[in-house]
Structure 1
Amino acid sequence: MIELENVTKRYGGKVAVEDLSFTVRTSRVTGLLGPNGAGKSTTMRMILGLHRPTSGTVRVDGRPFTDDPAPLTAIGAMLDAHAVHPGRSARAHLRSIALTHRLPARRVDEVLELTGLTTVANRRIGTYSLGMGQRLGIAAALLGTPRTLVLDEPVNGLDPDGVHWVRELVRSLASEGTTVLVSSHLMSEMAQTADDLVVLGRGRLVAAGPLDQVVASATTGSVRVRTADDPGPLTDALAEAGAGVDRADDDVLTVTGVPSEHVGALALRTGTVLAELVPQQASLEQAFFALTKDAVEYTAPEAS
């Protein structure tokens, strides 16, 4: 478990993170989201002990990460997958890390196989593609079979098969008891991967909690309704009930402001035959934009 309590980080006169408190739970995948400049990288670096908070506390499994006698088994991290010597092979790179914790050579072979790098393990890292470099970074993070995994943009540069592999990997690790924190700008992928979300904006906490709850609290869901006869009576009844009704086609309504059960009850009361009644939750992307609209550093003008 990762715990941040009232954490603030200043660089001179600039506040990068302010009064930040949240918990990353064990056996869950937590997505760390926010626009550029929100404080995500600073937060991850404080968790890993690379930056010291100006105030507040950061604990991993109840203590600062820097106090752990075997840090590679406590946290596996990938912040910059390409911060490696380009002249080394992947095998040599991983073996040098393994030696710091007296990990057996077979563990290097295991993570190479797990990440699909066995056939290129002896090639120079400088010849690797972006996706291969990402896989190597993940291999290094997994080397110590850590209790906690921290990954910054792990699917960057991966093809669809690689993206699916990372998703299944982190979910599998979480199901086995690993604490997983993943930062990403890909909302569609995070929606399929994360159990919980932590959303930052301008260094402050904007939202935190289970994914469905965060999305529901930031957006308005709708109900798609298709009628088998004249939708007029139902439309009038919905308007009287204070619902918003958008009539896209002759027999299709998009209803906001009331739950699907209420729509069904009004259809019954007005004698409207329904061919379709489907609650539609807003997307994570819509929720993200709603939550961070006032925390974006750079905005482009809207297209005309």
Structure 2
Amino acid sequence: MSKVITESTVEDLDKDQDESIEVIGLFDLPWEDIIFRYIMPCLPISTQFKLRIVSKDCKEISSAYLQSCKTCNICRVLWTDTAKAFVILTEDNSSLSLVLRNAQNWLSDGLLLPVLEHNSKLQKIDLTHCSSISNACLHTISIKCSQLTSLSLRECHWVSEAGITVVLMNCPNLKQLDLTGCWLLNDDTVTLIAQVCKNLKFLSIAKIYGVTDFSLNVLAKTAISLQHLNVQGCWRITNSSIIVLGEYAKCLEALQVRDCRDITEASLARLRTRGIKIDVRPPPEARNLNILHNALGLRQRLNVQI
């Protein structure tokens, strides 16, 4: 009798449990705490856009998520309708970071200017290889994005001295600035950077023919917070300014001088003794002496002047 009662009780319990189970769908989950934090970030941008065409609810949740994103990064988007995707991504969005690398085939002033005007809190802008925009964008950045801390204009050959000047004068909090390949710039620009950007930690002025020892001397003596400097391919920079850099730039941690034909170990050796990372290897004779020096257990590296 007890066995029958037990089996019956178990069956009743199972039935009650089945009736009490409530199916929870995607839209029943908390949007901000669960979906936006743990689910949507795991989806590629292409999948997020496909989600928009599933249903009205999916489109709503996708739009709400895009509006909440603090970073707009579409540098890996290779669709033919990238311009339309950019408009959707930035619509009603208040991003803190805008990454548009390699957007030379579709990005224009007409697309970028409205985004800059409506995102006054932007802290990072990356326009690397964006060749189809103009200095009008820099003018808008200088007016609307005064909180900017990182700006990359790498290989943007259209950047003029006047264009970058207005940015430097109105964005004093810059910590990272990449002007690699901005051919129209010169010593005056680098001098202004040294005088205005007191918090600058990373600076790349590689492949700019107009940069000489004069502006690098000013930079070395003025930009006291500089940690990483890239002057690759600056043919008019010599050992003279590198020696000054080693003397005054106390915070320097990395220096890139590849393809600088007039910079030799005569100026770099002292920087190596300070542990500064340099992108060119020392000559064999200097390497052999340092190996012997380490083997002997000496505390300081040899300062080899060549």
Same fold (TM over 0.5): no
Instruction: Please identify the structure whose Cα radius of gyration is greater.
Output: 2
Determine which structure has greater relative contact order: mean sequence separation of CA pairs < 8 Å that are 6+ residues apart, divided by chain length: 1
Structure 1 or 2: more helix by fraction = 2
Structure 1 length-normalised TM = 0.29
Structure 2 length-normalised TM = 0.29
